[in-house]
Amino acid sequence: MIHVVRYESPQHWAEHVAARFAAFLADEPAARMALPTGATPEPIYSGIVESVRAGIASFRRAQVFLLDEFGGVAPDAKGRCDAMLRRALLDHVDLPPERYHRLTPEAEDVAAMCAAYDASMQGPLDLVMLGIGRNGHVGMNEPGTSPESVTRRVELAPGTTQASVRYFGEGQPLPTWGVTLGLREILAARTIWIIASGDGKADIVRDVLLEPVSAQRPASLLRGHANCWFFVDAAAASRLPAGVLSRG
């Protein structure tokens, strides 16, 4: 079952998704979750940090898995997903370090690292939160990805490499590959949240929700999931007909 929830402004969107997350964590303090990076989750993470500071939510018993990671760039590059998640969230909350699981593309045997990562999840995750790329990718599962794909090394679509300049900075080396949670692990999760904001995401949000399900738009493969939520602000929802929306 897919739920699409629209919020009037980016501020409402970020506040309400952060509040939902805090409520989720309060209900399930030992939740195991995969979290995304990039521009989209940052205002949501700010709200979550406030909730933790206010004592409304705590990561003390949670397990956090990094959704994906760029390969072939310096381990300390500021655009690495690990660096972004730390800056936006983990440096400011009470998650014990041993409860944070990273993907390490510099591993000598990347396939073995990915298999160990999947094994460390100890079964389906409770929550996977995802951004969405303009080509419909989720994590680094680019167009053409099979729903059976597992955590693995992937080549990035050229547009994804180009778009990563906003994380790494002008003139910096950009990644052409990465490692990502597979669609199999994402689809196995109990709950999936997809977050999108801004009019740059309006076309892909519409296509993912209304065009036929297709591996060419990997996010559309999540429509068959039993508990999948799209949280969108008004700009990202601007090409959706009113019938598919509930108001946040």
- Binding footprint of ligand PGA on the chain (CB under 6 A): 38-40, 131-133, 137
**Closest to ligand PGA by CB, 51 or 164:** 164
Is 68 known to be catalytic? Answer: yes
For residue 8, the one-letter residue type is E
Given the residues 135, 141, 207, 225, select the one marked as catalytic: 135
Residues 100, 69 contacting (CB under 8 angstroms): no
**Closest to ligand PGA by CB, 39 or 77:** 39
Given the residues 137, 185, 207, 225, select the one marked as catalytic: 137
**Main-chain phi, psi angles of 82, to 5 degrees:** -55, -45
Number of residue whose CB is nearest ligand PGA:
38
Smallest distance from the beta carbon of 101 to ligand PGA, in angstroms? 19
Smallest distance from the beta carbon of 92 to ligand PGA, in angstroms? 19
Given the residues 15, 68, 126, 185, select the one marked as catalytic: 68
Integer Cα distance of 235 and 44 in angstroms = 16
Smallest distance from the beta carbon of 131 to ligand PGA, in angstroms? 3
Kindly write down the DSSP assignment for every residue of 110-155, as one continuous string.
HHHHHHHHHHHT-SS-SEEEE---TT--BTTB-TT--TT--SEEEE
Q: What is the C-alpha end-to-end distance of the chain, expressed in Å?
A: 17
**Closest to ligand PGA by CB, 18 or 60:** 18
Given the residues 15, 69, 82, 142, select the one marked as catalytic: 142
**Closest to ligand PGA by CB, 169 or 241:** 169
Is 135 known to be catalytic? Answer: yes
The H or E element that residue 195 is part of is strand 191-196
Smallest distance from the beta carbon of 227 to ligand PGA, in angstroms? 21
Is 50 known to be catalytic? Answer: no
Q: 81-88 and 42-53 are packed helices; what angle lies between their axes, rounded to 10 degrees?
A: 40
Q: How open is the CA angle 97-192-143, to the nearest 5 degrees?
A: 100
Burial of 92 (0-12, 13-18, 19+ CB in 10 A): middle
Residues 92, 52 contacting (CB under 8 angstroms): yes
Smallest distance from the beta carbon of 36 to ligand PGA, in angstroms? 7
Instruction: Work out whether the CA dihedral 27, 3, 119, 76 comes out positive or negative.
Output: negative
**Closest to ligand PGA by CB, 58 or 216:** 216
**Closest to ligand PGA by CB, 53 or 166:** 166
Smallest distance from the beta carbon of 31 to ligand PGA, in angstroms? 22
Report the side by side order of strands in the sheet with 68-71.
Answer: 68-71, 177-180, 152-155
Active site residues per annotation: 68, 135, 137, 142
